[in-house]
Amino acid sequence: MSTETKPVLQVEHLSTCFKTDQGVVTAIDDVSFDLYPGETLGIVGESGSGKTVTSKSIMRLLPEHLSFQKEGSVVRFEGKNLVTATEDEMREVRGARVAMIFQEPMTSLNPVFTIGWQLDEALKYHTDLDRAARKQRAIEMLKLVEMPNAERRFDEYPHQLSGGMRQRVMIAMALCCEPDILIADEPTTALDVTIQAQILRLMDDLKHKTNTAIMLITHDLGVVAQTCDRVLVMYAGRVVESAPVHELFDAPRHPYTKALLQSIPKSGRREHGKRLPTIAGLVPSLFDLPPGCRFAARCAYRDEHCDAVEPELVDDAPRRRVRCHYPLPAEEVAR
């Protein structure tokens, strides 16, 4: 990826709110980042930090009566702002241009139709192949994602598949149309590592062959280390750090990122059965956010300034940004 090329997607000041029984919450707050063709951008962060909401906001897949974007939110794709695009325009974008693989496949596969029917629908909508050709293509796609016995699985219903097989159906559907952007939300968490390796290689091939930009949401830092070019770290609805992958692993600058890297279980006899390091404390409630830094209460480096004033996300070094009053020194090596 070179910074000379133009981004395919620009997210600027994206804020998404939900209306709940207890009032309105801002689930993601002023999220900004660029996505370039042919790169894999990893998004990591605390569970509940807003990774899924960010991607569903881009795709406009959140329930419209329960959620809204704040004034000034922009998702720029091909000169259009998707936040204000019409539903017709969005239908064009979804699927064919920007595809998404969901975290919980059972909620996005239709339980009353066979796998084959669902793949066929996607192909019908996005290609002009005839019925027989579509079936052939669908089975090819299933084979591509290493679905065992693809011909047979074609006629099965989602409940007849294992968790990992459902996930692979979702991946097949997303890849059907060679999208410009692939948003993959925990695509391999349900898969064993040998299949995971195949899927990661498949996504890598897609990236090289069609210059697809990939947004990879994962909590598996091993997957990030293996496949991502750049990483965005989120915490409590905020982007707290972004950096090229090597730099992030070598020298995380936000204390949350550092703590996250330290919680990975390490293999080997010495560590077996030991309690793992965790980050003490809890994320703040979205209903009751502190005035200062959202990580302050759990941070080893905080002082009064952190409690009082929230730091801005600032450019820190070329291609690095961090939201911290006292970023860790660039030389410090994690672990």
Partner 1 sequence: MSLLQVEGLEMHFPVRGGLLNRVVAHVHAVNGVSFEVQRGEILGVVGESGCGKSTLGKCLVRLNTPSGGAFRYDGVDYTHADHEELMDYRSRVQMVFQDPYSSLNPRLTIRDCLTEVILFHRPHEAEVRDVDEMVLELVQKVGLRADAVDKYPHEFSGGQRQRIGIARALACNPEFLIADEPVSALDVSIQAQVLNLLMDLKDEFGLTLIFISHDLKVIEHFCDRVLVMYLGNVVEELECETLHESAQHPYTRALLGANPINHPRERRELTVLEGDVPSPFDLPPGCAFAGRCPIAEPRCSESRPPLEEKRSGHRAACFLVE
User: Which amino acid, residue 334?
Assistant: A
CB of 143 to ligand ATP, least distance (A): 16
Tokens linked to 144: 């591509």
Binding flag, residue 105, ligand ATP (CB under 6 A): no
* Window contacting ligand ATP (CB under 6 A); options: 19-27, 68-76, 272-280, 320-328: 19-27
Which residues on neighbouring strands pair with residue 14, listed in sequence order?
31
Tokens linked to 286: 């979205």
Count of residues in contact with ligand ATP, rule CB under 6 A: 24
Tokens linked to 29: 């707050």
Whole-number Å distance between alpha carbons of 5 and 92: 24
| Gyration radius from the chain CA atoms | 21
Inter-residue contact 153 to 161 (CB < 8 Å) = yes
CB of 329 to ligand ATP, least distance (A): 28
Tokens linked to 209: 């062959």
Binding flag, residue 42, ligand ATP (CB under 6 A): no
User: Which amino acid, residue 271?
Assistant: E
Q: Which of residues 132-191 bind Mg ion (CB under 5 A)?
A: 163
Count of residues in contact with Mg ion, rule CB under 5 A: 3
Q: Which of residues 70-129 bind Mg ion (CB under 5 A)?
A: 103
Residue with tokens 């930009």: 213
Count the neighbouring beta carbons within 10 Å of the beta carbon of residue 134: 20
Whole-number Å distance between alpha carbons of 209 and 40: 14
Nearer to partner 1, 2 or 194 (CB): 194
Binding flag, residue 27, ligand ATP (CB under 6 A): yes
Nearer to partner 1, 193 or 309 (CB): 193
Residue with tokens 């062959």: 209
Binding flag, residue 286, ligand ATP (CB under 6 A): yes
Q: Which of residues 72-101 bind partner 1 (CB under 8 A)?
A: none
Nearer to partner 1, 20 or 110 (CB): 20
Q: 218: closest CA among 255, 249, 190?
A: 190
At 262, is the secondary structure helix, strand, or coil? helix
Nearer to Mg ion, 115 or 322 (CB): 115
Q: Which of residues 166-185 bind partner 1 (CB under 8 A)?
A: 167-168
Nearer to Mg ion, 163 or 222 (CB): 163
* Window contacting partner 1 (CB under 8 A); options: 30-38, 277-285, 307-315, 321-329: 277-285
Inter-residue contact 175 to 167 (CB < 8 Å) = no
In the complex, which residues of this chain contact ligand ATP (CB under 6 A)?
18, 20, 25, 27, 45, 47-53, 66, 103, 159-165, 190, 219, 286
In the complex, which residues of this chain contact Mg ion (CB under 5 A)?
52, 103, 163
